[in-house]
Structure 1
Amino acid sequence: MPNHAPVSVFPLSRRAFLGAGLSALLLPQATLAGELASPSPDLASFIQNEMRTANIPGLAVGYARDGLVRYAQGYGLADIAQRRAVTADTMFHIASVTKTVTATMIMRLAERGKLALDEPISRHLDFPVVNPRFRDTAITFRQLLTHTSSISDARYYKIDFRDHGHDAKLALPDFLKQYLTPHGANYSGAKCFSTARPGTAWDYCNVGFGLLGHLAGRIGGMNMREQTRRDIFAPLAMDHTSWTIKDTPSLHSAVPYDLVDGALVAVKPVGFPDWPAGMLRSSISDFMKFVAASANGGRSGGVELLGTAAMAQMLDMQTPPGLPEWLSGQGLGWMESPLAGQVRPNHWGGDPGVFSAVYLAPATRSGVAIFTNVGASAENRTAVKNIADRLLQMAS
């Protein structure tokens, strides 16, 4: 989403933040029991130093191995003004990391024979979705999952669909019809679809993942929010996870911050209609259960999120034309890129005031997630990658 002017709630310069006792505020909070339940002083110090360098007010980090959450920890502040600490149950907006959950829901439906990855999506829709340049070429589920559908975000980024401070008023089906159908209010044949034939070129697409969520609802017989609660969140006991701002308790919510002229400035959370692409809010203690399953052939503890073959298919990386050089592969929902010299399946997420990342190491059945409540920056991205690499080294 494009940047917007932040709403100042509690501006604080980096110098003042450090001078106010950041070292004490960065102490770890609320750890889960497990193999790494008591982080070593070296690990805690490493994370705290990365936070200082990147000016991250609050951070949650988790590590899973062999289908179990071994470590889930909060550092710093969820709310600077209230001096409320981040805990393992603090709920962060995880932005585009949401796409891994949407993709998993589609794969669950595929496993049950409700859809085929290479069939036309048009069979399951009540409105047409056709690239006007290639009317003879159907768009498929696989193409949507791999960002090769030819649906384009070019016009999406020209229109600010966000609602500030609350969930989007525009319903997902209406958003999609207005954007993708010829008589829609936001339709542009030249901008809503690319010049590439479906299936031939990579082009990262939020609208496409919004469409996947809508399709999951039609095929599964209920809104995808309800399906994921029933089929993913409830079995994994993910009690601090929500699709909406209104269902995220303020006392459990991480306040988002942007850096403006060196000052941390609180911004309102944003809601947008294509919620399957990036609206999920979750705690590190919750989301690491999902990460644990994703890194462990689809199983977390005694819960089978996906079958082994379906999970492996999600992480089978391809290199479609147009894949940017910072990626080494594209799977089904998941991506792949180098981390400290090794390629890792992963996904990043960013919106105003938040930046998140998840990395998997399937060879060691390990995974890590890092959530922060400050907007993406070069320093923040570097810090998150450094922390992810440090944790994944524990499994090597």
Structure 2
Amino acid sequence: MTTLSRILVLSILSLILTLTSCSSNDDGITIPEPSSIKNTADLNAYLQGLVQTSNMPGLAISIVKDDNIVYQESFGFANIQNQVAYTNETINSLASLSKTFVGAAVAKAIEEGYFTLETDINDILPIHIINPKQPQGVIKIKHLVTHTSSLLDNPEVYLAHNYHILQGENITTAGAGFLMNELGIEQRDSYALEEFLAAYFLEDGDLYSSDNFADTPPGNTWAYSNLATGLTGYIIETATGKSFDDYVKENILLPLQMNASTYDISEINLNEMATRYLNDNTPLPVYANDSYPEGGLYSSNEDMGKYLLDMVKGIKGESNILFSKDSYELLFERRLTEGIVPNDFAENHGFFWYFQDGKALHGGNSFGVSTHMEIDQNGNYGFVLLTNMDASLSGNTQNYLALKEKVSKAIIELVEATD
């Protein structure tokens, strides 16, 4: 596919967006530096100006400090063409930020006794998954949650066969043409999670390939894998006897009163959902992915503020809303991959959380959506950023990273000014 050469592969992009900073972009857009942000009014003014002078359609931010949501605001447009404002109630795709909910679901399932970090996944699964390049290797739960399972994303399969445009969407637009003609994404019904994973990981599956596996033993090498995360969701389904989305709803969303959050797009009023943009003039049709646990959660800034607040409290052992103090500690364990790889972010790894520079991090990206969450590892503060801005194309990536860097600086200025 010709466009694949200029798209950062999505299987690693969300990590790059989380951990990389950049102060320039290749469109020549001047992004003002934050300065003298001493209160929320200063931050409002800065962010409003940032949206107006950049190509970010809309953004929403929640900040937690001192066990309170101290800031929750939205700027720009959920839909530019119809001039629909982005609000705290606007529904946004979370992309790979969804993986942190898989981590929380794993922590809950371990607490409930369904399995442990050391459990062989084939002791749970009704289908038997073997890495043909390492047939003696035992893939454990801990390998899935730390991206060390040796199960890989095959980029062309991941893009063209996992993503799909929803039925009923207009496919004559430029945005639809990009997804269909450049990436091979079809308009079709969704496949069941089990059906898709079986097609990808089982030898007789239509999507099976040796390229789906690394020639390295499980637990030996870090390699970000969306589809291994989707498999984690299916393991939770198999172990608990509940669908993954129902398990997350029952054990995470409802206890936190995240009533607007869902994996089921049929539950969403699409007029309340942020349109995803490749650029200001190219809205994308509504799409989804079959491996939905790894990137398919929809939420609002209001709901994500509740989640952020609980994670900030949980990382310092002051919450028991979702599970015990010990399970929060396990969720944010920083030594699960210690010593196996040479880079800092993978050596400091929780359940789909990365630790760098004293912060727990995860970012997300898909076509027309970019998200980010970070928490001070001591629980002093945390923030979440939701946008309907694309960072999948190379130029868009640089623009988003430059904007995210400035937003992060502005937030830290506010946090420090209010100490």
TM-score range relative to shorter protein: 0.7 to 0.9
Amino acid in structure 2 at the alignment position of 1:107: A
Partner of 1:117: helix, strand, or coil? coil
Q: Is the 8 A contact 1:202 1:320 kept in 2?
A: no
**Are 1:350 and 2:382 counterparts?**
no
Deviation at 1:218, TM superposition (A): 1.4
Report the equivalent of 1:185: 206
1: distance between equivalents of 2:346 and 2:413? 21
Asked if 1:333 corresponds to 2:352, the answer is yes
- Consecutive unaligned residues of structure 2, counting only runs of 5 or more, are 5-28, 30-37, 168-187, 392-396
Tell me the distance in 1 between the aligned counterparts of 2:220 and 2:55: 41
Deviation at 1:295, TM superposition (A): 1.6
The percentage of counterpart residues that share the same residue type is: 23
Question: What whole-Å deviation, never above 9, does each CA across 1:121-148 have from its counterpart, x for those lacking one?
Answer: 1111111111112222210111000000
Q: Quote the RMSD (CA, aligned, Å).
A: 2.7
Query: 1:293: how far off?
Result: 1.2
Q: Which amino acid aligns with 1:137?
A: G
CA distance in 1, matches of 2:274, 2:202: 37
CA distance in 2, matches of 1:343, 1:305: 24
Q: Identify which of 186, 197, 200 aligns with 1:176.
A: 197
Structure 1 residues 58, 39: CA separation in 2 closer, same or farther (over 3 Å shift)? farther
Q: 1:359 touches 1:367 (CA, 8 Å); kept in 2?
A: yes
Closer, same or farther: CA 53–120 of 1 in aligned 2, 3 Å = farther
Deviates more, 1:299-308 or 1:76-85: 299-308
- Distance of 1:3 and 1:249 partners within structure 2: 32
Inter-CA distance 141–355: structure 2 relative to 1 (3 Å threshold):
same
2:218 aligned residue: 198
Deviation at 1:159, TM superposition (A): 4.0
Q: Give yes or no for the alignment of 1:370 onto 2:385.
A: yes
Farther-moved stretch of structure 1 (137-146 vs 127-136): 127-136
Cα shift at 1:100: 0.1
Give the deviation of 1:173 after TM superposition: 0.1
1:289 is displaced (CA, Å) by 1.1
* Alpha carbons 1:66, 1:292 under 8 Å: kept: no
Q: Which moved more, 1:312-321 or 1:361-370?
A: 312-321
The answer as to whether partners of 1:67 and 1:301 remain within 8 angstroms in 2 is no
1:284-323 residue CA offsets vs partner (Å, 9 max, x unmatched): 1101211111121269997612322222222233455456
Given the superposition, is the C-alpha separation of residues 149 and 235 from structure 1 closer, same or farther in structure 2, using an over 3 Å criterion?
same
- Which deviates more, 320-329 or 346-355? 320-329
Helix, strand or coil for the counterpart of 2:265?
coil
How far off is 1:220 after superposition?
1.6
For 1:51 and 1:327, the matched residues in 2 are separated by: 33
1:255-285 per-residue CA deviation (whole Å, 9 max, x = no partner) reads 11112xxx53111122111000001110011
Q: 1:326 to 1:232 in 2, by over 3 A?
A: closer
| Amino acid paired to 1:112 | E
Residue aligned with 1:255, SS: coil
Q: TM (normalized to structure 1)?
A: 0.83
Q: Which amino acid aligns with 2:133?
A: R
**Aligned-residue offset at 1:66:** 4.3
Q: Which runs of no fewer than 5 residues in structure 1 stay unpaired?
A: 5-17, 19-37
Deviation of 1:336 after TM superposition, in Å, equals 2.6
Tell me whether 201-210 or 312-321 shows the greater mean CA deviation: 312-321
TM-superposed CA distance for 1:39, in Å, is 6.1
**Matches of 1:301 and 1:90, distance apart in 2:** 29
Between structures 1 and 2, the one with greater helix share: 2
More strand per residue: 1 or 2? 1
Q: Equivalent residue for 1:26?
A: none
Whole-angstrom distance in 1 between the partners of 2:42 and 2:68? 23
